[in-house]
Amino acid sequence: MSPDSHTAVAASNSVFEDGAIPILDVGPYLRGEPGALEALAAELREAMENIGFYYLSGHDIPLDLIRSAFSAAKQFHAQPLDAKMALRANEHNVGYMPVNGSVSRASQVETAKKPNLVEAFFLKRDLPLDHPDVLANKRYRCANQWPEEAAVPGFRAKAVAYMDAMESLCKRMLPVYARALDLPADWFDKPFEDPQYTLRLSHYPPSEVGEADQYGLAPHTDSSFLTMLAQADLPGLSIRMPDGRWMEVPVIEGAFVVNSGDMLRRWSNHRILSTPHRAINTNPGADRYAVPFFFDAAIEYPMECIPTCTGPGNPPKYETITYLDYMLWFTRKNYDHVRSKEGTEAADPGVPKTQSARD
């Protein structure tokens, strides 16, 4: 992280003091300082059990690499629509989704009335064409769709470099999550041996392009184990605090905004929050870009209730599930391009065995 980024984080300590979104400095832990893992795990536990969001500062992802991810998003979305539509997202949810191509139907916050005013390009692990999972057309394990190098120079190299760096950072955070949940530090090693992840390169057009009551991204919770969002130069993200009020998330250059999603909430038997959030481009006449990285367990790992999150009087709320089964439901529910190819909707796996999913 650059000195300028450290200065920006230090200047924003009021965010932590106000009790809104804590800032977790991962630097001492990444450097292997004595006691840093347990100290960071305690801070993470407090953030995840009470807010569901935190800023991650002190990491080792170069600011130039973060900027290159935003550059890649701008490059891709600057193409003519027909060039983007040639890479229309498929049943693996890999490729281009046009504006108004998604509705937040899986939201536990409110019923979405209009499609989202956002276009996005989805990428997953860059598997080669001769990979066994690609050859077998295994769901969510396909090759990515890439624009021609001549049309978008350097796009693939930028995207892959960013995904590699984000996967490395997320995997190094797993011992912190394990200790925050009172587990051995290596507990998540097996579930994340070959993790699933998605990079979403999003473009929010100026708000005046849409309708008055249309969101860029309607209130929702993420499906992921965790989401890491590099901060754009323009604000637009808001989260719903535990007291019900909506709070804008200030931009801190170089810091990631990190939140837990529905999979971790489910896996932890509701011990960890999956906090609602929304995106609205409130910057008149300006285009806003976002590059969220969604990180999940291996595609067929059976996510059974974490043992430290259940006990007498607190039985598991959900059946064991895999990433594959959960995402089959989630993508059919939310994305028109998946639903139109399959024409069916799976039963909702998000509903606990004995409670409403809204609990």
Cα-based angle 198, 201, 204 (whole degrees, multiple of 5): 135
Q: What is the mean pLDDT of residues 248-269?
A: 95
Q: Which of 307, 313, 318 lies closest to 357 in space, CA to CA? A: 318
The answer to whether position 105 is within a domain reads yes
Is residue 174 scored above 50 in pLDDT? yes
Single-letter amino acid, residue 125: R
The answer to whether position 88 is within a domain reads yes
pLDDT digits (tens, 9 = 90+) for 51-66: 999 999 999 999 999 9
The answer to whether position 305 is within a domain reads yes
Bridge partners, residue 239, by sequence: 247, 277
**What is the band of 242 on the pLDDT scale with cuts at 50, 70, 90?**
confident
pLDDT digits (tens, 9 = 90+) for 272-298: 999 999 988 877 788 999 999 999 999
> Please, are residues 199 and 163 in contact by the beta-carbon 8 Å criterion?
yes
The answer to whether position 192 is within a domain reads yes
What per-residue confidence (pLDDT) applies to 300?
Answer: 96
Domains: count for the chain? 1
d(CA 242, CA 262): 16
Is residue 101 scored above 80 in pLDDT? no
Q: Which of 120-124, 150-154, 187-191, 217-221 has the lowest mean pLDDT?
A: 217-221
Q: What is the mean pLDDT of residues 241-254?
A: 90
pLDDT digits (tens, 9 = 90+) for 13-71: 333 445 579 999 999 999 999 999 999 999 999 999 999 999 999 999 999 999 999 99
What per-residue confidence (pLDDT) applies to 10?
Answer: 36
Please report, for the domain that includes residue 144, its CATH number. Answer: 2.60.120.330
What per-residue confidence (pLDDT) applies to 203?
Answer: 94
The answer to whether position 138 is within a domain reads yes
> Please, are residues 260 and 176 in contact by the beta-carbon 8 Å criterion?
no
What's phi and psi for 314, nearest 5 deg?
Answer: -140, 70
What is the maximum alpha-carbon separation in the chain? Answer: 61
Q: Output 108 or 29, whichever has higher pLDDT.
A: 29
Q: Which domain holds residue 220?
A: 3-342
What per-residue confidence (pLDDT) applies to 175?
Answer: 98
The answer to whether position 162 is within a domain reads yes
Cα-based angle 295, 277, 231 (whole degrees, multiple of 5): 65
The answer to whether position 98 is within a domain reads yes
Q: What is the mean pLDDT of residues 232-246?
A: 87
Percentage of residues in the chain having pLDDT higher than 90: 69
The answer to whether position 295 is within a domain reads yes
Q: Which of 20-34, 113-127, 161-175, 331-345 has the lowest mean pLDDT?
A: 331-345
What CA–CA distances, in Å, run from 190 to 34, 87, 140, 159, 239? 25, 34, 20, 26, 32
